[in-house]
A and B are shown apart, each in its own frame.
Chain A
Amino acid sequence: MHRIEVFLKEQMPDARGLGLVRDIHDLGISSVSGVRVVDIYWLDADLTADTLELICRRLLADPVTQEYQYDKPHRYSQDKSADNCHSIEVAYNAGVTDPVEATVTKAVDDLGISEVRAIKTARRYLIQGELDGPQLATICDKLLVNPIIQHVVTEEPVAFPETPQYEFSLKELDIGEAGEQFSFSEDETRAITVYFRKLGRRPTDVELETLAQTWSEHCVHKTFKARIKLNEEVIDSLIKNTIMKVTEELGKPWCLSVFSDNAGAIDFDGAWALCFKVETHNHPSAIEPYGGAATGIGGVVRDPLGTGLGAKPILNTDVFCFAPPDFPHHKLPKGVLHPRRIFKGVRAGVADYGNRLGIPTLNGAVLFDERYLANPLIFCGTLGLLPKELAPRGEQQPGDLVVLVGGRTGRDGIHGVTFASEQLTEESSTASFSAVQIGNPIVEKKVIDTLLQARDRRLYSRVTDCGGGGLSSAVGEMGAVTGVRVYLDRVPLKYAGLSYTEIWISESQERMVLAVPPEKSSELLELFAREDVEAVVIGEFTDDKRLKLFYQENQVGDLDMDFLHHGIPQVSREATWTPPRHPEPDFDCPDDLGEALLGILSSWNVCSKEWVIRQYDHEVQGASVLKPLVGKENDGPGDAAIIRPVLGSETGAIVACGINPRYGEIDPYWMAASAIDEALRQIIAVGGDLSRVALLDNFCWGDVREPEILGALVRAARACYDMALVYETPFISGKDSLYNEFEYQGRVISIPHTLLISALGVMEDVSRAVSMDFKQPDDLIYIVGTTQDELGGSEYLRLNGFTGNRVPRVNPHQAKRTMERLSLATSWGLVRACHDLSEGGLGVAVSEMAFAGGLGALVHLKPVPLGEPISRDDAVLFSESNSRFLVEVAPEKETDFREVMRGVRLAAIGQVTDSTRLEIYGLAGRKILVESLKELKEAWQKPLRW
């Protein structure tokens, strides 16, 4: 056993350490002056000093910046506390697979050293500064160690765990007793009892696990398919009556694959198809933000890869909902991580995984509300590109082989699916340790690279990803129409000791399942082997419509596919809806609205997210046309992202999103309508049009067994139908995450109803794109659309401590006409800049356009077209009415612009100036605001300049 320490030379700045110092200061501990990080490698081997030298010098330590030592006491040992150096060593828990260990093993082998049996890594933090015991414990607890995956090393040397053994024995269970353990409902337990009674035998554990996975909320969306009673009305399947119905009624020929595959697919340009999916990874991210978010990205990337015959992932989107980062530490419930730590961890997880996969992260949003404290929401989306003819889902033939490709199977994420469908409690973070895993993006990257080669050689007939529910869901679903036999002992394992059931339901990452015609299997296996990707035949498809599982020579499961996939009893639920009444705001309109504007710009929801965006690679793949940050200094907030997915073609794909949970507190119907309008506005603002826009829905809701909460869901889903029908924007895929609530000291905290709408548009000619930054002094500023007295749920009211009741509504007929006209104006080159009005309304939009363009603006509220009489300046300036845009028009284009926009309510409200300030005059012609661009921008950038 050898222990190697690698550390930076004294004079080298330690970037990791500096980041930690900032984090420690954020905790309110200011006495720490520096942190140095030491990398530790444990080698299970007996090596000579020469060999160890070689490993250190040529592999583990950088000769220019680092030093090393081995088999010596720590260079900085604990007794150094005399000069205030505190040393903490952190290692991964047994069972957590650290990707670095695999790399080091390979690299040591490359050096020609083959006698190393195993490698473990650890990290030692040397913290400089006067600290007492509790402070050190706080640093460990809040920053260095997550007990879910790590521990502080107190005993040396680190023990390499013994290889555990598994002895086969078939486990049969009594359904009556086991029902609760598997979270089956009474109806489900009854159905299962009847099924096995007919067979005259008891179910095995793996059979019940399979049913539990397949019938989980996460996999079958029981609530969305439930029979819901709302007042006197009965809705037989919400999803079929709203989201799916509108797509069917619209019947767009460019919808190639909807609601039937891992992602929805549309025709891009006649030769290529785009597929799009957004998933959530909420619960795992709440307890281990880094790993949870990383596996969230890894999971959603495999959705396009497992759509049709496999799409190349070309763009990622991320939307996060957290509690405010300034939430007081002392108010944090036990077992809950601080929002700042969750935010930083999630960001790092998404970046480390997404960047390594080489997929640009080009779109997203970050929202804050205290009710996300224990239940952060992590939405990850991936866009994929594939030849159009490969977009329909593949079909296997009986006799085709089941091939498992990619990562090995461990005890990772067991029961992740059922976990995702449950309420979190204070104990969740300890009880659910096995639900979290560390992803290995390079394994996934290798799978993507090789799978797409296999696709292009047509070496398989069908593909799906191994996600929630593991093999159970993936193979179970694939085999539904034919039948399948799986030999569980053939699945490659990370370590021994897994039972057949664990193998079947493990959610280990980076795995895909293929159906492979036998005559193509040797070429396929060879292709994967060439790039060191593990691919193994684990079974074959049959024609008996049964799921049969084997372990060694024993049959351990045998289920009828029809029962597995259609035997679940429909759930019945009650829904009610009572419109809430919030106190009406009762404050006077301030004479000067500058302070309010600065306040909104620096609110967590509105402020710049540049800190996040820059840590994601948004340029990889070389396709970006409109980036997330735009303007004179590349730091203004772009509305939607545009890429050219096919290098050499001018056709663009536009990705946008809409979300505003605050409106849902007043009415989830208008929240959903607003989210759709917002996503579409962004597409129009960058120069897109409505002719080919597809939508995705992601509902994150509380406990839908509560009738009021379910009633809110029904209202939101209905708005989706109503709006999409008029805009003619079909839904192509979606996902829901329910039961997002947290029990704390006997009180249930439910998340706000949250609906994320993601939109995907196609743009024929990307050279028509416009950005939101002002470009030319003396240009005219037009407001397009009608302003209503709609401050309900607005950032302005929030700033003043109110929610209000006048939530922004949508008139989709009018909105559609506005958007169509504006698209036309842009395509004719009549629009120099365009920005949609959302949080903070006109005030925020004009500020952002001004400081992004580095140009001033002079604006009058008097000409703003109003839909109802409004007498207050603040209401006009900060109303969040939907379907509105600010447009910069060159004076010489004004006549043409007005001509094209005929029939749409609009008005010139001012002009771009070459000054360095924003000046706004109110309804009575009085100056109500003068602020310098510098101050506006500073207010907007400061909060998240971490």
Chain B
Amino acid sequence: MIIEKPAAAGTLESCDAQVIVEPGNGGVELELDSKVIHQFGRQIRAVILDTLCRLDVTDAKVTVKDMGALDCTIRARVEAAVYRSAGQTDQIPWEKLADEK
């Protein structure tokens, strides 16, 4: 998918994550800040990159502020931000998203 405009999903509530995606500079650039960076930073990074990969996002700047969210939440927030940035707010391929988990 092509990131056309900046978009955000999620909140800064405890157990949530705020994801901002913006058009990139020719690759995926990830900036992660997390309350649990020591214990789960590696895993959160992997989940974000994996979700972007499944959505065929290859060119984006992604900024994530994680407040201790579980993987399912992080995945959902990344997906929402990406679809919003591509201007797709209906006709979301829910079944495909569900299958890919």
The answer on A and B forming one complex is: no
Interface residues of A (CB under 8 A from B): none
